[in-house]
Amino acid sequence: MKFEELQQKLKDGGVVGAGGAGFPSYAKLNKNADTILLNCAECEPLLQPHRQLLRSHADEILAGLHMVAETVGAKQAIIGIKKSYEHAIAAVEKEIGKYPEMKIHYLQEVYPMGDEVILIYECTGRVVRPGGLPIEQGCIVYNVETMYNIYRAAVEDKPVTFKYLTIIGEVSKPITVPVSVGCSFKSVVDLAGELTCEDPVYFVGGPMMGRIQPHDGRVTKTTNAILVLPQDHPLVMKKRRKSKIDLARAASICCQCETCTDLCSRHALGHPIDPARFMRSASNADFQDLNPFLNTNFCSQCGICELYACPQDLAPRTLIGEYKAGLRAKGIKPPVVEAVPVKPSREFRKVPEDRLKARLGLSKYDLPAPLDDELQPEETVRILLRQHIGAPAVPIVKVGDHVEYRQMVAKAPDGLGVAMHASLPGVVTDVNDTFIRIRKE
């Protein structure tokens, strides 16, 4: 396929990163890439969609990976996958012989292996500079579901209308399912059997990087899990703590042990983020040296410092995130810096996933959530116009219009962004600056 044709198909097909910030996939395509990485690390505890999707759709996903590599002229394609995903590996091994440019790289069971900067280092030995993009090291990274969506949009002309999610935690039947983009979290949780606690909290997006969301929140193209937790779970209580209190606690009990820095996933890679130094400066309002504040730009928000490392239950990640957002809001750009050499201690300071689950109080929820690949029926969807990095999509339907399944309902904006499509056939009942609502007919 021609480069420009693939770009257009992904833009019109509404393909964005299926998880994380949801970077529009067409904008990652680049002819300078020599390596395409398929990310099947799936390192957030309890999440299981990618390994199962790869197991059931390895033929389409590897065909998509080959197509992308061929289109941009990359000489190799690497599938980064954990050894424990045996069924997915078996499915890949059946297909991989068709594609001489492909190889498998086995990943350790550590967190955060799915961070693309870390994945690139593990699979290629290349270090993306602080604040840099993977393409600067000749790499493009797509996760498994994104690659599946790329294949469907480019080869089958099917836009993104559903999202795979794992529903797990305080439910009787943990499950992984595809659901319509725009359906409510409550309707998704209902697919996982009975609730096993009263008045649960929905932790959306994984325990490390996810957020508490209302029950009537909507599935987007980046939603990858709903973790159902009781109100008094430590993760929930920690998430609800006010940052003013976090800062006051840091001022009084941060002992400067530096465990947060020692275990910081980006610091170990030679990036200048230093949570211990930041905590000292922020909690003492010490602005003589601005570097600890400016370097918050280089935090990936992985959460190791806050949810695993700190012996005092402090919140470096949250406070760093607030400073980072504040700098961005004021238009202060990250300093241009190079990484120093990777720390020799990095190998010994990786965070094992099992210990992480135990530390988070999640071991009892660590159960299979088998994939049911049938798309679940919905009566109403509310399709958000902004579901990813970039500008919101622009509605092209009006109230009362009848729309077909997969019909484009909002076009890609000028600049960075993608189109949105009807995730069920029906009548448009609302159109505003934020969403389009469609009711099934």
Residues that bind ligand SF4 (CB under 6 A): 254-260, 264-267, 273, 275-276, 279, 299-305, 309-310, 312, 314, 316-317, 320
DSSP for 338-407 reads PPPPPPGGGGGG-EEHHHHHHHHT-GGG-----B--SPPP-SEEEEES--SSSPPPEE---TT-EE-TT-
Of 219 and 319, which CB lies nearer to ligand SF4 in the complex structure?
A: 319
The CB-of-417 to ligand SF4 minimum distance in angstroms stands at 28
Order of strands across the sheet with 426-431?
380-384, 435-440, 426-431, 402-403
Contact yes or no for 260/305 (Cβ under 8 A) = yes
Place of tokens 């983020």: 273
Cβ–Cβ < 8 Å for 92, 104? yes
Distance of closest approach, residue 310 Cβ to ligand SF4, in angstroms: 3
CB of 4 or CB of 289, closer to ligand SF4? 289
> In this complex, which beta carbon is closest to ligand SF4, that of residue 60 or of residue 246?
246
Toward ligand SF4, which CB reaches closer, 77 or 117? 117
To 10 degrees, what angle do helices 275-283 and 316-329 make?
A: 80
Q: How many other CB atoms are found less than 10 A from the CB of residue 126?
A: 14
Return d(Cα 17, Cα 221) in angstroms, integer.
8
Using DSSP's 3-state secondary structure scheme, residue 26 falls into helix
In the complex, minimum distance from the CB of residue 386 to ligand SF4, in angstroms, rounded to a whole number? 25
User: Long-range pairs for 97-102 at CB < 8 Å and ≥24 separation?
Assistant: 98/62, 98/66, 99/62, 99/65, 99/66, 101/66, 101/69, 101/74, 101/75, 101/76, 101/77, 102/62, 102/65, 102/66, 102/76, 102/77, 102/78
Q: Which of 131, 130, 110 is nearest to 122 (CA)?
A: 110
The least CB distance from residue 235 to ligand SF4, in Å, is 15
The amino acid sitting at 198 is: E
Q: How far is the CB of 311 from ligand SF4 (least distance, A)?
A: 6
Compare residues 153 and 339 and give the one whose CB is closer to ligand SF4. 339
If the CB atoms of residues 146 and 261 are measured against ligand SF4, the closer one turns out to be 261
Please, are residues 36 and 140 in contact by the beta-carbon 8 Å criterion? yes
Using CA atoms, how far residue 397 sits from 404, 427, 430, in Å, is: 12, 10, 10
Which residues are CB-contacts of 377 (< 8 A; sequence separation ≥ 6)? none
Residue number with CB closer to ligand SF4 (227 or 314)? 314
Which residue's CB is nearer to ligand SF4, number 113 or number 219?
A: 113
* CB distance 78 to 62 below 8 Å: no
| Least distance between ligand SF4 and beta carbon 425 (Å) | 43
| In the block, residue with structure tokens 């998880």 | 19
CB of 242 to ligand SF4, least distance (A): 17
Closest to ligand SF4 by CB, 102 or 315: 315
**Which residues, 6+ apart, have CB-to-CB distance to 374 below 8 Å?**
177, 178
Nearest distance in Å: CB 346, ligand SF4? 13
Between residues 313 and 379, which has the closer beta carbon with respect to ligand SF4? Answer: 313
* Nearest approach, Cβ of residue 295 and ligand SF4 (Å): 9
Q: Least distance from C-beta 118 to ligand SF4, angstroms?
A: 10
